[in-house]
Structure 1
Amino acid sequence: MDSSTAAEGFTLGLPALLLIGLLLAAWTAAAGLALVVSRRKLRRARRDRRANLRLSRMIDESPALPLLVRSNGRIEASERLAAWFGCSSLPQHLHGLAGPESGLPVEEAEALWDAVEKTRSSAAPLRMMLHPGGANHALSVIGHLADPQVAGGGAVMLWVSDASDSAEEIARLSAEAERSRHDFHALVGLIEAAPVPMWFRDTDGRLRLVNSAYVAAVGADSAEDVVSGGIELVETVGGMTATEVAEQAKASQQAVERQAMITIDGERRAFRVSDLPVGNEGVAGYAVDVEDLQLLEREYRAFRNAQRALLDQMSSGVAQFDHARQLVFTNLPMQRIFRLPPNIGQEALPVGRIFDMMRNAGRLPEVRDFPAWRAEREGWFTANDVKDEEWVLADGTHLRVVAQPMPDGGLVMIFEDRTEQLKLASARDTLLRTRTATFDNLFEGLVVLAPDGRLQIWNRRFAAEWNLREEVLAGHPHIDALLEGMAPLLRDRADTRRIRLLVEAATLQREQTTGRVTLADGRTLALAGVPLPDGNGMLTSLDITDAQKAEAALIERNEALVEADAVKTRFLANMSYEFRTPLTSITGFAEMLRAGVAGEMTETGREYVTAILDSTARLSQQIEAVLDLTQSEAGLMPMAEEDVELMPLVTGLVQDRSQAIEQADITFNLRGDRTSGLVSGDERQLARAIGNLIDNAIASSPRGGRINMDLRRRRDGVAITITHDNAQEGVSGSADTSAGLNLPLARELIEAHKGSLDHAQDARGRVVVTVVLP
């Protein structure tokens, strides 16, 4: 029996062992697979990290480093920029660049902040130079709005490059120019030896130096005689003397060249006269005999003028260069586009100089390497075919540039301003995108249909409300197909006819109509058909289910409030009448006691009875005030219509309270006259309201205080102003909190007369009550 039991145990354990082996094998395979996947992810992460490090290193080694300025002024950049700005470490805020550890001047830091703010608000590009540590160190800064993927919220991206070498070059050129100006006098000897008349004028336009050719041309004995006598070689031409022409050249700092007839040895000859400004020293001039070229020049001028007249009528700019790559002609559109001076064609200028002038005027595309860009365009002179490219200027101007090489080695460049065309195209695209975004964010579903019933425009809310697929709407279905897709959502399929009538009224009848439909899920949609100016019609749908529920709830609540107010009014009125019965009895018994009906009373008893009568009188007034206030709120108080003269009424009210005023030791000043005029109303109720205000002023004023009461006629009616000191220190002056029912009742009575009552407190802490009656 023991052997059989052992055999049975061995047989039952074998499947279990097999199952355990399979589980271990599966677990081992899964662990190996997870290990392979983890190694792949690790290798991919290492590659990404190396790529990020390589990109970061490339940015650090770039000649231009990025500087990100957040909307709050915080900056993010490489620490390499700290040394450029003269900082020991990069500050956290842009203003920190002008701190005590920075070499950036404060005014330049403020200018940089202003430029960043301007770029953030207007998206205008930023360009400026900074000089941290002095004029020998220069940084070029170019900025623009940061890409939202880089930094959102109005951040500005600045690219900073070290331009110290350029600054040193400018300083060197300025020094050379200064030396050239001082060497001007060294040229006097050369002028004397020139074969053509030459002269020099000082800053006042007077002749200071002439050469021998000039002396011979005017027939003078010596240069001193010419200078002292102010003998002019050139006569007045075109209403301008030689001195005025020189002044013009000096003012414009540009050479002035003209043709003039000069008499030399009794013969009239044509000369080309030039006046050239020489810095701030004066104006130099010379005259060249061109008589032999006059005829040829006239013929050429006639042809040139005809050509210019034709090209000036074009809308495109035209510039013509000769074989020496010098400008020989520009038309008026060319001068206007590139802001060139009007006399740009009077002097031969190389194409490189023209490009420099365009760049200085900000009329060339922004490029990183301008000399290379300019050299590439100068290569158009030797090109074998026509060059055609697009230029985008800093102000957004788009130019199409066509360069045609000429057989003689010259070049003709044509500039077509395509800004308006591109603006119109961009405006159209922007308008379409704006319209789509606007429609998609409306609370209403919206579709636009043509007069033939074809769908033109829709928004996402309409598609969602009616469970319509975008691909169906994109096919611009007819209204019949559209209504067929909308019908399953309607509680009553007959409402599709109502929708069709709205569309027909908007598109065909050009009438605006509205309607409502109920959906199968219980929602209610308000529909509107609106005719559009372009002949199409617009159908809108708005879910008003919640609004209807809220409206019903508000109506129900308002009815409950009206009923509660009526119950309150009835209760207060009933309670007022119920209070009067026992109060009348108390008053009667007290009067009987005071009259001695119950026998002779002691002095103390009489005082008690008098106090009871005073209290019952005040309580009776309060009850009457409650009743009147309740009737006024309910609109049930009877009001007489009569003419009331305010000044006598107010005077009587003050006189009735003279004893109370004297007991309170109050000075009461009443100002006004009969010009205050009449008001229409109930004299008794007006007297009650104004009397309550006077009583409140007496009760609220400190002992020995002052009350001023003014009556004045204003455009909007009669104004009654009561000003008094506040007996309760620290009280804001709103007497509604301490005056019992006097002021609420006064307000109700005044408003019943279509007037207004206002409480205020002036700068001295005095209470000011203003009543205006129409």
Structure 2
Amino acid sequence: MLSPSLARAEAVQSIVGDFNRVDVAGYALLLGALSAALVSAGWLARQRNRLESESRGLRSELSVSQHKISKYQAFIADKNRRVVIWDGQNSKAELLGQLPSETGAPQNDGDFLAFGRWLTPGSASEVERAIEALRSHASTFDLVVETSRGEVIEVQGRLYGGRAYAVFLALNNLWAELAELKIERNRLRNSIASFESLLDSIEQPVWQRDAEGRLTWVNHAYCEAVEASSPNQAVQEGREILGTLTREKIKATTTPESPFRDTVSTAVRGGRTFFEVVDVRGPAGSCGMAIDVSSAETLREELVRTLKSHAETLDHLATPVAIFDADRHLQFYNQAFVQLWGLETSFLESRPDHAELLDRLRSAHKLPEQLSWKAWKESCLSVYRALETQTDLWHLPNGQTLRVIASAHPQGGVTWMFENLTEQVSLETRYNTLLQVQGETIDHLSEGVAVFGPDGRIQLSNPAFRALWGITEAQAAVGTHIRLLEAACKSSYDKADGWKAFGKMITSFEDERPSSQGTLELYSGLVLDYAVTPLPNAQTMLTFVNMTDSVRAERALKEKNEALRKADELKNDFVQHVSYELRSPLTNIIGFTDLLKTPAIGPLNERQSEYVDHISTSSSLLLTIVNDILDLATVDAGIMQLDYSEIDLSDLLDDVSMQMTDRLQEGGVTLEISAPSQLGHIIADRQRLKQILIKILTNAVNFAPEGTAVKMKCWREGVDFVFSVTDRGRGMEAEMLSSAFDRFSTNPKGGKRSGPGLGLSIVRSFVNLHHGEVSIDSAPGQGTTVNCRIPSASIPQVIAAAE
């Protein structure tokens, strides 16, 4: 450990060291601040001296600038100049200087900027557009404009230091004259440009030539005519629209006082074209225009052809025509005119006067005889002084009737047409006679007839019409409106489908008026069949036929038919019900009969066995009859469905022959089946097809003589199963063949066993259900053959039947 004295000495020494370090740092900072202050003072002194020097220079330059501004203001203040200054796009204009009062420029700043008040309209719009371009797009300009007093002013637009200046200068002496010449030059250029634009837009070729005859300008129509791509090409290549001879003729004949004007022909775009050429000569050359008159030439030629065609047409007309000029001389006549009057061609070709022509016809006794010939002729010739067409009838001595039509021409002259009405008068006479006959015929018809006009008023009616509706002749008079007729017939029939419906159809404005038919039953019990028939000229005919007796007979027949239908339904219901009721006891009888035949019940004597056999046979026959009746009733009701399945025909024939064994033995007949070894299969109802075969074979066995054979022939035609059954019986007569398939139809002669006559009827019903065919060929003494065709059902039919 240190001694206390030594520790105190070290502490004092540490305190002195710390004090020395702090003092030295303070003195250093003080010395740095004093040095910086001295440097800043020196720099400020130098800056002050420099600023004072610059200030003296600026004051000198300001004095010079003010002196220059004074001179510029004095220059601008000249009365021949005014400056408009804009500082920025939206700043207000500043104006300096003035223009002389004789220019018409306003002294007020606002009035001066309204350029339209003191400049001409064209100049004002030009200045406004130029100033707008200057301020918006920095586009400088130099214009020469005109005031409303006729003074010329030059306007210059410039940009200086971001400002827009418009300087208006009043020109004097030569400058003014030069400016006026510039304006006039611009005016002439604009006029020339307007005329060139106008000439360039027209469809007629226009050209301009120099003194040597060379092309200097052409329009677009000229360019198209010579097939040039542009007017410059046409001018440079010297493409001419006119031929050399035509140009030489124009050059030789045209003078400033006498322009060239003529119609020439030239080739344009590969075709011949007619132009009316106008060429004018001036001091510096010539200019011309070609007007296309091809259409006019075509129209002129077409007019000539049309006149010739009209003359040929009139010459082939059956109506006589003669044309006289304003001097009443004959100019044209056709062959019908020559044939009508029988005049010499030489006389007609001499162009005779109309009065002379009439006198010649009168002397030939070809004109109507008149009490005053002079007055009649003067009346005929008065048409030359008339303004309207005149018409007259001439009754010639030869019996002809002519309608004479004289039509005056606006330019003078008259066209005479002679229409032969002889046949028309004859036809009119026969027509009137026919109308009378038709009227008498209609009046004596048993059907009621009435004809109405488009206005709904009656035109004619016959007595039968009035009698059927119980109205008088006055109520159905000609001109009576259908509404009045409706009111008159209201007591007989007053339903909505009656006369109101007739009125709508008769007065309808539809383009196509439909016809209508129907039946009305009047309150009196009469039944009328009506028909509404449109006629020409918008007329309509109503006809009514009394069908009361026919309707009554029809109603009686319908009532009887309904009674028969109900009786047939009752019969079917009865048969079906009785058949079902009989089947149950018959089944019991057959069952007990079979039971009696069995040895287990006990032995039967010979008579009992015979009776039991008769009971069994009769019961089986009765069950067959009941089943047949039930099948027919099912077919009639439309509820029988075929049970389609695939049938092996060979097995089916074997099954049928087995079931026919007892019946064949009973009838003393054999069965011969002729069929291929492989008949194949067919899709049909096995039970019904088996019934068809058994019924046909049973019928054949019944009528076949004992000891004979029933022949059955089977074959296939496509997918159809075809067979025929032939017996050697007595055959059937023609009247029996027609009813062989009818129900309960029996043949009382030749059969071993009589039946109800349902076998063939069931056969036809089952064959029809299979969409097949069955027929009988028979003749007395030649036996009978039944032919049958059963088509194989398709798969969809089988599926439908299964469903």
Smaller-chain TM-score bracket: 0.3 to 0.5
Structure showing greater radius of gyration is 2
TM-score, length-normalised on structure 2? Answer: 0.39
TM-score, length-normalised on structure 1? Answer: 0.40
